[in-house]
Chains A and B, each alone.
Chain A
Amino acid sequence: MAISGTLGAALPATHRRAPFAATGPAHEGSRTALRFTGSGSEYFRIWIVNLLLILLTVGLYYPWAKVRRLQYFHRNTLLGDHGFDFHGNPWAMLRGYVLVAVLTSLYSFAGQASLTAGLVAFAIMAAVWPALFRSAQQFRLSNTSWRGMRFRFTGSLKGAYFAMGAALLPVLLLSLVTMKLGPEPGEHTSSAQLALALSPVALLMLMAPLAWWLIKRYQHGHLALGSNVTRFDVGAGAMYGVFLRFGGLMLLVGLVGAAIVGRTIYVGTASTLGVLMLVVFPIACVGVFALSQAYFAARLQNLVWNGTDSDVVRFHSALSLRATLKQTLKNWLLIALTLGLYWPFAKVAMARLRLQAVEVELLVPVDALMADAERASRDAAGDAAGDLFGIDFGL
């Protein structure tokens, strides 16, 4: 069973070309929409079987299940006639999960042991978090490929700390200051003291769009294929625009809601008010949550991906808010009605909606795309932390 030719030497020399030059005019490239061919019923079957295996192995099977899930979603995402692929090694991921499980247990035990220990544990977690975040990006990206070429994440460690710290550190410092200077519980508080106590919250609301922008700029400004790295062409102002428009929308919803409630109190009977409070109000709350989630999902996806481009590729995202809201509400309703069994279907439907709204424009012939021979670091622990704390690093 001898191997009669190494893989590299089999190719003629013409294919070992230098990477495509970054200069030169971008010529009319093909603009292709992503296609998602996965099906909800198939993912449901995969999900059930893997869930059972996870239960029977008391959780140890989770990395294999996750690899299977990511491979299913990656491979069913087609750009042109070829799907993406996920290369993660389940054994490495298992190490990472065990490590993170141990760290999380220590963190929660520290919180129970004493307040100081809890604060120390929190400080350590906060200090380590940006490094883990960067590792997760590296892991996910370097284990993703298209047409055999692996991607890379070129963000630096310093960049990670800046992206996560620059906007949130002032909020943290202000919180500590107001905790020291603020009123003791039980004390009579003046309005000035109350304002001081609430100032971190106000600052957080002001800084949240900035924080989000910094993180997205870090993520989307360092996606690399070979020597071509993406740029993030969105300004902080545009991010504030999205958040402000969201605020305006919520204000509008609030006004309409207040008007309806006011009118019912004024005109309606006690029973209509009762119906309004007990039935309509909870449904309206759920609707508002769904609207918020759909709004940010759609607007941010469009903003962020439209602003991501490199010398070889441009992205165009046209995700409709109405379609996203409809799908979100449908998903929530059916998940509730089926006691959770609809979840795989919901996940597939949402993935299809979000992916098929994206068009990829290649600025060079596809044959000219080249990856680097070097492999980026595959630090599995970083990916484990990302999943455990629910941060989505999806492509």
Chain B
Amino acid sequence: MTPTADRELAVDYFDGRSARAHRVALRIDDGALAIRGEAIDLRLPVSRVQWPERTRHGPRIARLPEGASLQSLDGPAWDAWARDSGLRESSVVAAQQSWRGVLVCVALLVASVAAFYVWGMPWAARAVVAMTPASAEREIGDLALRGLSEGGFLASSAIPAAEQQRWRARLDEALARAYPDAATRPVIDLHFAAGKLGANAFALPGGVVVIGDELIALVDRRDDAVIGVLAHEAGHVRHRHGLRLVVQAGLLGMLSSVVIGDFSQMMAAAPVLLGHASYSRDFEREADGQALHVLRANGLSSQGMVLLFEKLAQRSKHADDALGIALASHPADAERIARFKAEAP
């Protein structure tokens, strides 16, 4: 249908040694490129030519072996000739040259980034957490505790030592009953504190749990409320939420820490992170689940927790809210309270 003359293209030929241009005609037949011009007569396989990609603007430059090249300023004519001669373009080029292809790529890009954020990063964070030894976790918690103790946030507790010991024994007993298998049981180092902590409680990586004198007073020393709070914090410890927060905040640095086995970088950043971060709703929900489990195993009512949440909601904004991961800093929403209410007799 198309006469063979139409499948010829006039371009410039350069030999790679001189800047002199030679006008030549190109034709493709039998899988070979024929180059004909004044004193030039060449044939070479199509596969030995580095063909240019189709673009809307700019010249076309095809590279030949030994430094020679074919160049043309007329892009569209070249593209038409290449298409008619049976040269195919890659799908990458096809995508680049169509707005539909680009929109598909944008959608895929957004989807990939979202997928990484939703699944990739949490997965990576979980892997890093799993590989962090308990000793490093404990050190991070100790560092954070030291940081919080300075500056008056935690003052010496006014609760007598005997009562403190009683609470500690009570907690150990409750945890032993809830987690008969010692391997899954969280080991808690319970501290009491007064000071700016106020009516609050928090857990640190490694098992340190601090409960405020004011909180115990607020619930009138009710067994079920105090154990519920401590079990909630023990839940954060059991699932290593504090460490996961630290890891998620600085994933790349953590990866290198795990790889080289040195956690000093993680530890330097951790207290700051723990001081400012807050648990996600999922973390809080998990810890609530642990609290319910412990209360149930010990035959305690969850009414104590409901009353605690109600009392905390009634309090005006206090300095208690200074620490994001602490219990009273993000008072329970209706959903969480409902969960505890459902269990109450």
Q: Do A and B come from one complex?
A: yes
Chain A residues engaging chain B, CB cutoff 8 angstroms: 1-8, 10-12, 15-17, 37-39, 42, 44-46, 48-53, 55-56, 68, 71-72, 75-76, 78, 81-83, 85, 87, 105, 108-109, 112-113, 145-150, 366-371, 373
**Residues of B with C-beta under 8 A to A17:** 18
Besides A8-B66, A83-B71, A146-B19, 11 other CB < 8 A contacts? A1-B45, A7-B15, A7-B66, A11-B15, A16-B17, A17-B18, A42-B57, A49-B96, A51-B109, A113-B262, A148-B16
Complex Cα spacing A16 to B17, Å: 9
- Taking a contact as CB atoms under 8 Å apart, the answer to whether B68 and A4 are in contact is no
Most buried by B among A37, A68, A367, A368: A37
A selection of 12 A-B contacts at a CB cut-off of 8 Å is: A1-B31, A11-B40, A52-B109, A82-B21, A85-B69, A145-B16, A147-B19, A147-B21, A147-B71, A148-B15, A149-B14, A369-B19
- Is B322 in contact with chain A by the CB < 8 A criterion? no
Q: In the complex, which residues 205-234 of chain B have their Cβ closer than 8 Å to any Cβ of chain A?
A: none
- Total inter-chain residue pairs, C-beta < 8 Å: 152
**Residues of B with C-beta under 8 A to A75:** 52, 58-59, 61
Closest residue of chain B to A114 (Cβ to Cβ) is B262
Complex Cα spacing A49 to B91, Å: 10
Complex Cα spacing A71 to B30, Å: 30
Most buried by A among B19, B30, B63, B67: B19
- Taking a contact as CB atoms under 8 Å apart, the answer to whether B18 and A149 are in contact is yes
Q: Is the interface of A mostly helix, strand, loop or mixed?
A: mixed
- Taking a contact as CB atoms under 8 Å apart, the answer to whether A112 and B264 are in contact is yes
**Residues of B with C-beta under 8 A to A44:** 102
Known: A3-B43, A112-B262. A49 touches B19 (CB 8 A): no
Closest residue of chain B to A10 (Cβ to Cβ) is B40
- Is B80 in contact with chain A by the CB < 8 A criterion? no
- Taking a contact as CB atoms under 8 Å apart, the answer to whether A147 and B42 are in contact is no
Complex Cα spacing A370 to B92, Å: 36
Closest residue of chain A to B91 (Cβ to Cβ) is A49
- Taking a contact as CB atoms under 8 Å apart, the answer to whether A37 and B58 are in contact is yes
- Taking a contact as CB atoms under 8 Å apart, the answer to whether B18 and A370 are in contact is yes
**Residues of B with C-beta under 8 A to A42:** 55-57
Q: How far is the CB of B199 from chain A (nearest CB, A)?
A: 37
- Taking a contact as CB atoms under 8 Å apart, the answer to whether A108 and B42 are in contact is no
Complex Cα spacing A149 to B113, Å: 43
- Is B112 in contact with chain A by the CB < 8 A criterion? yes
Known: A39-B56, A48-B109, A49-B96. A148 touches B260 (CB 8 A): no
Known: A7-B68, A37-B57, A52-B108. A15 touches B19 (CB 8 A): no
Flag B37-57 by CB within 8 Å of A: 1 or 0 each: 001111111000000110111
Complex Cα spacing A48 to B73, Å: 26
Closest 5 CB pairs of A and B: A148-B14, A369-B19, A76-B58, A367-B20, A147-B19
Known: A8-B15, A148-B16, A150-B67. A72 touches B43 (CB 8 A): no
- Taking a contact as CB atoms under 8 Å apart, the answer to whether A112 and B44 are in contact is no
**Residues of A with C-beta under 8 A to B102:** 44-45, 48-49
Q: How far is the CB of B271 from chain A (nearest CB, A)?
A: 18
Q: How far is the CB of B32 from chain A (nearest CB, A)?
A: 5
Complex Cα spacing A342 to B91, Å: 25
Flag B231-269 by CB within 8 Å of A: 1 or 0 each: 000000000000000000000000011011010110000
- Taking a contact as CB atoms under 8 Å apart, the answer to whether A4 and B42 are in contact is yes
**Residues of A with C-beta under 8 A to B63:** 85, 87
Q: How far is the CB of A117 from chain B (nearest CB, A)?
A: 11
Complex Cα spacing A48 to B109, Å: 8
- Taking a contact as CB atoms under 8 Å apart, the answer to whether A1 and B42 are in contact is no
- Taking a contact as CB atoms under 8 Å apart, the answer to whether B57 and A373 are in contact is no
**Residues of A with C-beta under 8 A to B259:** 109
Tally of B interface residues using CB under 8 Å: 56
Q: How far is the CB of B252 from chain A (nearest CB, A)?
A: 10
- Is B149 in contact with chain A by the CB < 8 A criterion? no
**Residues of B with C-beta under 8 A to A149:** 14, 16-19
- Taking a contact as CB atoms under 8 Å apart, the answer to whether A1 and B109 are in contact is no
Closest residue of chain B to A108 (Cβ to Cβ) is B256
**Residues of A with C-beta under 8 A to B109:** 48, 51-52, 55
Flag B319-337 by CB within 8 Å of A: 1 or 0 each: 0000000000000000000
Q: How far is the CB of A346 from chain B (nearest CB, A)?
A: 17
**Residues of A with C-beta under 8 A to B264:** 112
Q: Which of B19, B31, B57, B73 lies in contact with A81, CB distance below 8 A? A: B73
- Is B95 in contact with chain A by the CB < 8 A criterion? yes
Closest residue of chain A to B257 (Cβ to Cβ) is A112
Q: Which of A38, A112, A371 lies in contact with B16, CB distance below 8 A? A: A371
Complex Cα spacing A6 to B43, Å: 9
Complex Cα spacing A10 to B16, Å: 13
**Residues of B with C-beta under 8 A to A147:** 14, 19, 21, 71
Complex Cα spacing A38 to B39, Å: 35
Complex Cα spacing A3 to B257, Å: 59
- Is B65 in contact with chain A by the CB < 8 A criterion? yes
Q: How far is the CB of A282 from chain B (nearest CB, A)?
A: 24
**Residues of B with C-beta under 8 A to A48:** 102, 105-106, 109
Most buried by A among B61, B257, B260: B61
Complex Cα spacing A71 to B61, Å: 10
Most buried by B among A56, A87, A148, A367: A148
Closest residue of chain B to A64 (Cβ to Cβ) is B92
**Residues of B with C-beta under 8 A to A76:** 57-58
Q: How far is the CB of B67 from chain A (nearest CB, A)?
A: 7
**Residues of B with C-beta under 8 A to A113:** 260, 262
Complex Cα spacing A367 to B112, Å: 52
Q: In the complex, which residues 97-115 of chain B have their Cβ closer than 8 Å to any Cβ of chain A?
A: 97, 99, 101-102, 105-106, 108-109, 112-113
Closest residue of chain A to B42 (Cβ to Cβ) is A5
Closest residue of chain B to A372 (Cβ to Cβ) is B17
**Residues of A with C-beta under 8 A to B14:** 147-149
Q: How far is the CB of B172 from chain A (nearest CB, A)?
A: 39
Q: Which of B20, B45, B59, B65 lies in contact with A7, CB distance below 8 A? A: B65
